C-alpha cells in the first residue's frame, strides 16, 4: 500500500480522484510543548486511538473530499504510516514534509498539491472533534465563496488589555465577535498568491485567513461547532475524551 518517492509527497495510498476537487491539508508538524509531551501531540492516545486518527476518520466520511495531505516532520512518518495502514481510509492520503512554522508547513502543502486541485481546506489536526457534517459543510461552501473560516459566536465578554499594564483598554461588542476554528477553505490559486506575497514580505500569521485579509480578499464565516476544540493541554484531552464518550453513547 505504501510507496516512497523522491519528491515532497512521501506517501500515496493510491485511489482514484474522479469527480472530487476539494483537497484537505492537515498541518501536523508541531511538537505540542504545552501538552508536556516529548512527542507529537497528534500521536498521543485518545479513546484508544491517536488524536490524528479521529481527524482523519471524520474527514474520510466527507463525500466531497478528494485527497488528504498530512504535513508532518520526518521523525513522525513511520508512526503515521502505521496508523494509515491500520485505518484503511477510502480517501487517498499524502505525507508532505513540514516546515519550521505552521505558515511554512501550509506553504509546503500547497506546493505539493496536484495540478488538478482547484480548492483546498486546511484543518488543524489537533481539532480532532470536527464532525463529517462540518467537513461537508465547509467543502460545499467553496462552491459559493473563495475564502472562509469555520467559526462560532463568542459567548464570553471579551476585554482588550494593554500588555504592559494589564489595564482594560476596551470592551468590544460580542455580537460582532466570532471565535475562529478550522477547517478554513480557499480558492487555491488565490491562497498560493497570498502565501507567496506573505513569504516575500515576511509576514507572520497564525492562520491562512489572516493572509487572505492582509491581501484585501474577502473571508466569510461558515458555522462551526461548539465541540470543535483544539487539543493543546492535558485538560483538553480530558474534555475531548468526555465528548467522544457522549457521542459514542448517542450512536449506540
Residue 42 has pLDDT above 50, yes or no: yes
Mean pLDDT in residue range 220-234: 96
Task: Let me know if residue 88 belongs to a domain.
Answer: yes
Task: Let me know if residue 91 belongs to a domain.
Answer: yes
Task: Tell me what pLDDT residue 5 has.
Answer: 36
Task: Let me know if residue 1 belongs to a domain.
Answer: no
Task: Let me know if residue 81 belongs to a domain.
Answer: yes
Domains held by the chain: number: 1
CATH of the domain at 234: 3.90.550.10
Task: Let me know if residue 89 belongs to a domain.
Answer: yes
Q: What is the DSSP string of the chain?
A: -----SSSEEEE-----TT--EEEEEE-----GGGT-SS-GGGSEETTEEHHHHHHHHHHT-TTEEEEEEEE-GGGHHHHHHHHHHH--SS-EEEEE--SSHHHHHHHHHHHS-TT--EEEE--TT-TT--HHHHHHHHHHTTT-SEEEEEEE--S---EE-TTT--EEE---GGG-EEEEEEEEEEHHHHHHHHHHHHHTT---SSHHHHHHHTT---EEEE--TT-----SHHHHHHHHHHHHHHHHHH-
Task: Tell me what pLDDT residue 35 has.
Answer: 65
Q: How confident is the model at residue 14 (pLDDT cuts 50, 70, 90)?
A: very low
Task: Let me know if residue 4 belongs to a domain.
Answer: no
Task: Let me know if residue 2 belongs to a domain.
Answer: no
pTM higher than the cut 0.95: no
Residue 116: domain span? 9-251
Mean pLDDT in residue range 144-160: 96
Task: Let me know if residue 222 belongs to a domain.
Answer: yes
Amino acid at each position: 500500500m505504501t510507496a516512497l518517492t523522491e519528491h515532497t509527497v512521501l506517501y500515496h495510498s493510491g485511489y482514484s480522484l474522479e469527480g472530487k476537487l476539494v483537497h484537505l491539508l492537515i498541518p501536523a508538524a508541531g511538537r505540542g510543548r504545552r501538552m508536556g509531551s516529548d512527542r507529537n501531540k497528534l500521536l498521543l492516545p485518545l479513546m484508544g486511538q491517536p488524536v490524528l486518527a479521529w481527524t482523519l476518520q471524520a474527514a474520510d466520511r466527507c463525500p466531497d473530499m478528494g485527497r488528504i495531505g498530512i504535513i508532518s516532520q520526518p521523525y513522525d512518518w513511520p508512526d503515521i504510516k502505521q496508523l494509515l495502514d491500520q485505518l484503511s481510509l477510502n480517501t487517498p492520503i499524502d505525507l508532505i514534509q513540514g516546515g519550521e512554522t505552521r505558515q511554512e508547513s501550509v506553504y509546503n502543502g500547497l506546493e505539493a498539491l496536484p495540478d488538478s486541485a482547484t480548492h483546498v481546506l486546511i484543518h488543524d489536526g489537533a481539532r480532532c472533534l470536527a464532525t463529517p457534517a462540518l467537513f461537508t459543510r465547509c467543502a460545499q461552501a467553496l462552491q459559493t465563496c473563495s475564502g472562509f473560516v469555520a467559526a462560532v459566536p463568542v459567548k464570553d465578554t471579551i476585554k482588550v488589555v494593554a500588555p504592559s499594564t494589564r489595564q482594560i483598554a476596551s470592551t468590544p461588542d460580542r455580537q460582532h465577535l466570532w471565535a475562529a476554528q478550522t477547517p478554513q477553505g480557499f480558492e487555491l490559486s488565490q491562497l498560493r498568491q497570498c502565501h507567496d506575497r506573505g513569504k516575500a514580505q515576511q509576514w507572520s500569521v497564525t492562520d491562512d485567513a489572516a493572509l487572505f485579509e492582509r491581501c484585501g480578499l474577502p473571508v466569510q464565516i461558515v458555522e462551526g461547532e461548539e465541540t470543535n476544540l483544539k487539543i493543546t493541554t492535558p485538560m483538553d484531552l480530558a474534555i475531548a475524551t468526555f465528548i467522544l464518550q457522549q457521542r459514542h453513547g448517542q450512536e449506540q
